[in-house]
Structure 1
């Protein structure tokens, strides 16, 4: 990879004539970056697709290429991309429906608005994977027809399709009104009974670990049930009976459904699998009683997920905050807290409660300022990025709490240039602060020069437009490819230097 040319291809200030020169020498890496340019003209898109065939696909998805620009025989992937975007005539669809390459028919099967004759061709395709892909995106009437397909993998795809009618999804679970499937991906390859060795060493084997078939196609049928449970179109009455199923994966999928009745939630709350209980803990379907019961769960992930429940009582939430690591995130219940609740949390003797409310960025000034002077570093760290804090108060935070809060102070949108320069001189150093300073839109040249001394902040600083142009040019030869690429992408790079970077100009 030529990091400098890739960076140049991403440079928003690259003049159009230099874009043309870059297209003329682009390889696959550079073309991938050029294809994402917002200012690429239609003529440049056509030239790029001609230079690097692979780039035609993203250009087609972005609408930069039209039907007139694509030859489906020579550029099938780009033509399929247009069909997927709903562009391209029925003749293209018919061409790919009869294509001998299975992967192309699979791609076509996911395209919308196909003509009726192509729909029939795909539904009757000789290759199961094509029909399964088609079933995943089929319209309700076609999905209904494919629910009775002889291959269990096609039925699994129908079960995952949200356009499948609820009555059909219920039938896939119960089996009522459907003939048993005759084939599956396992017995297509092996003679039943067969269980795929999880440690299979065959390089050409694509069966999943543990896939099995004893003649009832059990592993594919199991996957079909999981897909149906996860499908929001499946009636809840059809899935509640699976709460006691021996398959943990089925119970896990069930625990995430937001339409579960209370008795099913209660049963899943004592499930032996922590993952099932964790998904249930964040489920809006559980009531206050179950929330409080799950708060006593000893599994860390259950507690963490419960903290993200939108209706968790504040007393439970503050207790959870003291028991488990929630992270620096604004929890839904805190975001929805009323003004009186915000005041109560901010004045709580529990620092965990104050830390939770400090994550809000719409706090009244008096509450924000009180939290900024909190004695607990975690509370100060949480409120430090809050907009509106004056530079004097931000500096006072650093003077009191030191390296524990510097990175968050550096991320404050109102941090002044002088404050950021002060943070770069702080001892002991806080490496995370340099990265925050380097990405700050208002960072000054002195602060950015200091960031270049930190190996993690250097690639970020190299791309900042406030960095002096001469320094940016020097970084083009940096041994770290990420730094050189960021410098080449820096819009403050002089146009003359950009031109020299292209083949034919002086080398760096």
Structure 2
């Protein structure tokens, strides 16, 4: 019954009076579905918040509750949500800055537009986690001040903050000009020297493996440096010299920066750590010469990074497509192709080139139709979801390439009901096709019934089909008694469910 009520709560066709009845019996799960209803009125939202306290936060974020509906003394979490969304009353922050629950003060520290007195209260909070959260979002002046905080956790947050002044970020990289830190998360918990092992026996320990402190807070200081190196506001002259640092994590922190000099990228491109090279490969800051030099890297992640580079030369991209699994996605460079480049790829004798451009969904009709007749199954598979293909063209694809393209044909937005029925009856069956048919907007009842009853469909298909509005109401009603609770919930959320049945289901809960 609980799954049925959750489904009803999400049903877009649920009459307003039944929404009210559901609110009166809602628990946390039902309230979650109700809160996302686009037709939920203000009075209903207030009633739901009173019924299920935890729903008030979500309702506030969804804009269903306003400041007039929330008392911060009674619902502090909802008040915080409104402050975070910029819809709360500024005076609430003074009250919440003194809240005994640390998590609330920490949440408040991330809210925009706090008054100066509230900021000062949070900056001197007794819990370092609150101060660190404040440093993460602080204005330049406050961030500069907190960068010299005695606790390393606060300094690390300032190092992540792009509003922290560049000179201060440079100091956080080296530590020069800053007073020595006195505390870190490790020595807060353990007497130094201490190294946190990978298999900690303490169930409530939140220290990361490898965290250590011998009195110099070494692992925490390293984290500050890495955060500052990643921060794009840190001056490049303060970071470039670290490309030869012996620690891989330090070098890795530089690999995604887009402002390094060419020589620095060249060093990182030959780094012994594959992850460093992979991040460099996808970095928009590298030039064509380095892209070409990296194209023969033995690591597939590096080659994938290059393939996703927005300015990879087309000839390099084609070469990468031959040797690297790039996934079923439109690559940035192909998306940016000019009309001439699109045609160049489409008529290429290399099927890898034709496959790349076949992932576009805005091809000229002539180009699209020519690729639909391509002899290579991978090209046709990439093209099959393209809008504008006729039923006859899709059937020719199936006749020529069979199961290799069938699931992708099922995703085509112009696939006809008759074709979708034939796809689920295909021999041999293609399991992925059932799921695509079950969610297709044009799927007819016959295809959906096959998705519900055919043993060849995997278990996850039935809930998808049960929620399809093209199912006959009689079938939807029958599915309310299905042994699979996911199917029951999906059927209860189906807008084809008759209102009288919705009412009866609520009455018999």
TM-score, structure 2 as length reference = 0.97
C-alpha separation in 2, matches of 1:192 and 1:431: 57
Q: Provide, for residues 282-325 of structure 1, a one-character-per-residue CA deviation record: whole Å limited to 9, x for no partner.
A: 01111112111111110011111111111111111111111110
Looking at structure 1, the residues matched to 342 and 105 of structure 2 have their Cα atoms a distance apart, in angstroms, of 57
Following the alignment from structure 1 to structure 2, what is the Cα–Cα distance between the partners of residues 88 and 418?
54
Alignment match, 1:470: 474
Question: How far has the Cα of 1:376 moved from its partner?
Answer: 1.2
**Could you tell me which residue of structure 2 aligns to residue 281 of structure 1?**
281
Shift of the alpha carbon at 1:67? 2.4
Task: Give every structure 1 segment of 4 or more consecutive aligned residues whose post-TM-superposition deviation is greater than 4 Å.
Answer: none
Report what 1:393 is aligned to.
393
Q: Does 1:432 align with 2:432?
A: yes
- Count of residues in correspondence between the two structures: 505
Report if the CA contact (8 A) 2:6-2:489 is conserved: yes
Match of 2:490 in 1: 486
- Cα distance, 1:420 vs structure 2: 1.4
Match of 1:304 in 2: 304
* Separation of aligned partners in 2, 1:2 and 1:294: 56
Deviation at 1:66, TM superposition (A): 2.1
User: For 1:94-116, what per-residue CA distance to the aligned partner results, in whole angstroms no more than 9, with x for missing partners?
Assistant: 11211222122111111111122
CA deviation map 1:355-384 (0-9, x unaligned): 111111122222211211111111111111
Could you tell me how far apart the structure 1 residues matched to 2:350 and 2:314 are? 12
- Superposed counterparts of 1:64-463, under 5 Å: 64-452=64-452, 453=454, 454=457, 455-463=459-467
**Whole-angstrom CA distance in 1 between matches of 2:389 and 2:60:** 47
What 5-or-longer segments of structure 2 have no aligned partner? none
Give unpaired runs (5+ residues) of structure 1.
Answer: none
How far apart, CA to CA, are the structure 1 residues paired with 2:115 and 2:322?
60
1:17 deviates by 0.2
Q: Deviations over 1:200-252 (max 9, x none)?
A: 11123221111011222111111111211222222222211111122222211
Task: Tell me the residue number matched to 1:7.
Answer: 7
Matched residue, 1:495: 499
Name the CA distance, whole Å, in 1 between partners of 2:138 and 2:226: 19
The whole-number CA distance in structure 1 between the counterparts of 2:310 and 2:41 is 46
2:390 and 2:414 in contact (8 A); partners too: yes
Q: Deviations over 1:230-278 (max 9, x none)?
A: 2222222221111112222221121011111100000001101000000
User: How far apart, in 2, do the equivalents of 1:88 and 1:399 lie?
Assistant: 61
Q: Distance in 2 between matches of 1:234 and 1:14?
A: 54
213-222 or 79-88: bigger deviation: 79-88
- Say if 2:174 and 2:225, in contact at 8 Å, map to a contact too: no
Query: What is the TM-score of this pair, normalised by structure 1?
Result: 0.97
RMSD: 1.4
Q: Deviations over 1:325-376 (max 9, x none)?
A: 0011111111122222222222222211111111111222222112111111
